[in-house]
A and B are shown apart, each in its own frame.
Chain A
Amino acid sequence: MAELTRMETDDVTMGPPAGLRGVAVDFASDQRAFKNVSWGKAMMWIFLLSDTFIFGCFLLAYMTARMSTPVPWPNPSEVFALNIGGQEIPLILIAIMTFILISSSGTMAMAVNFGYRRERGKTAALMLLTAALGATFVGMQAFEWTKLITEGVRPWGNPWGAAQFGSSFFMITGFHGTHVTFGVIFLLITARKVWRGDFDTGRRGFFTSRKGNYEIVEIMGLYWHFVDLVWVFIFAFFYLW
């Protein structure tokens, strides 16, 4: 009992005991396990965890389809090649999309940083840049879909091999593209609030009637980086494998 009291005091002054013991103390404590994490950030992380399982199941379904079909899988390196200047360059569009999404993650990380320094001009500008890069990504994805559809790829078949290629492709990239699109929309909304100075003046939210703070930029950033993270896995398993 005495030890427990000591640990609770430590918690306020010096942080939790090190390692797993600290985890156990946090989870065994009253009311809240994530001591120094705001509810907004904790809930975003828990949402992202659930999203991880969704994308995990999509990639699993794709793995199962690809492993269990006796028909050869279309070669993504050729399917996603682009003809530039008379030369077939494998997977080039996907590579460019990858670089664009990574760059958008970089600008987002810097937006979070400037947010906490209360430089709202720079924060809003970097968020808008992030949104622009995200919109570019979605645009290139629309181009890719159009190209594949005109070449005859359907969810139930394609000219090159296993029929499940189309359904896996549209399902996985479609769901990811939807995530990016929603990310862009919320980036624009949050950037507007930052630009207007809502988090300096304590203006109340339209929907929640609560005052926000610059942590919302970081929470928005978590979602955006997650979209980038999912793309890392899609790029590896669907396009490169």
Chain B
Amino acid sequence: MAQAQAHSGQQHPIRLYLVVWGLLFVLSTFSYLVDYLGIQGYLRWTLIIVFMMLKAGLIVAIFMHMAWERLALVYAILLPPLLVLVFVAMMASESHYTIFTRLAFLGGAGS
């Protein structure tokens, strides 16, 4: 099957793309509604992240055909970006320290 795909290229029914297109529209509408309805706090951030991940997943898996690629390529491409999360943790910690020093020693004047 993998070999057959290698020769004929990625071939899937048009209907699948239309369904994903529709889903992306719906998910984007939901994301927009989060702002339009003025949802705040942890619920807002959770919804934003959930809709974002669903959209990203659909685009990568279906539009970019990752769902049908060989596992070696999938892992080689999708695992490294997870390391960015380590960077996020480091910079979040650094930001907390920066704002602490600004508030403690600059009286909140430094921006």
Contacts from A to B (Cβ < 8 Å): 12, 15-16, 19-20, 22-23, 26-27, 33-37, 42, 45-46, 48-49, 52-53, 56-57, 60, 63-64, 67-71, 77, 90-91, 95, 98-99, 102-103, 105-106, 108-110, 112-113, 115-117, 162-164, 214-215, 218, 221-222, 225-226, 228-229, 232-233, 235-236, 239-241
Contact = CB atoms under 8 A, between A and B. Distances in A.
Q: How large is the interface on B (under 10, 10 to 19, 20 to 34, 35 or more residues)?
A: 35 or more
B81 to A, nearest CB: 5
B1 interface: yes
10 A-B pairs with least C-beta separation? A67-B95, A26-B72, A106-B21, A68-B98, A36-B6, A236-B52, A68-B95, A15-B2, A70-B108, A116-B9
B88 A63 contact: yes
Given A16-B70, A37-B69, A49 B77 contact: yes
B69 A232 contact: no
Contacts of B28: 95, 98-99, 102
Contact of B31 (A20, A53, A236): A236
A91 B38 CA distance: 12
Chain B CB within 10 Å, residue with most, of A57, A70, A215? A70
Chain B CB within 10 Å, residue with most, of A20, A57, A102, A164? A102
A45 B75 CA distance: 12
Interface string B71-111: 11101110011001001100110111011001100001011
Nearest to B22: A106
Nearest to A13: B3
Contacts of A241: 45, 48
Contacts of A164: 111
Given A35-B70, A56-B81, A229 B48 contact: no
B49 interface: yes
Contact of B99 (A67, A163, A228): A67
Majority-rule SS of A interface residues = helix
Interface of B: 1-3, 5-6, 8-12, 14, 17-18, 20-21, 24-25, 28, 31-32, 34-36, 38, 44-45, 48-49, 51-52, 55-56, 59-60, 62-65, 69-73, 75-77, 80-81, 84, 87-88, 91-92, 94-96, 98-99, 102-103, 108, 110-111
A19 B45 CA distance: 34
Given A56-B81, A215-B9, A106 B59 contact: no
B32 A106 contact: no
Contacts of B99: 67-70
A164 B95 CA distance: 14
A71 B110 CA distance: 8
Given A99-B25, A116-B10, A221-B63, 11 more contacts: A16-B70, A16-B71, A33-B76, A64-B98, A67-B96, A68-B96, A91-B35, A95-B32, A102-B28, A103-B21, A106-B18
A47 to B, nearest CB: 11
30 contacts: A15-B1, A15-B3, A16-B72, A22-B72, A23-B72, A33-B76, A35-B70, A36-B3, A36-B70, A45-B73, A56-B81, A56-B84, A63-B91, A64-B94, A67-B92, A70-B110, A70-B111, A90-B36, A91-B36, A95-B28, A102-B25, A112-B10, A113-B11, A164-B111, A218-B65, A228-B63, A229-B56, A229-B64, A235-B52, A240-B34
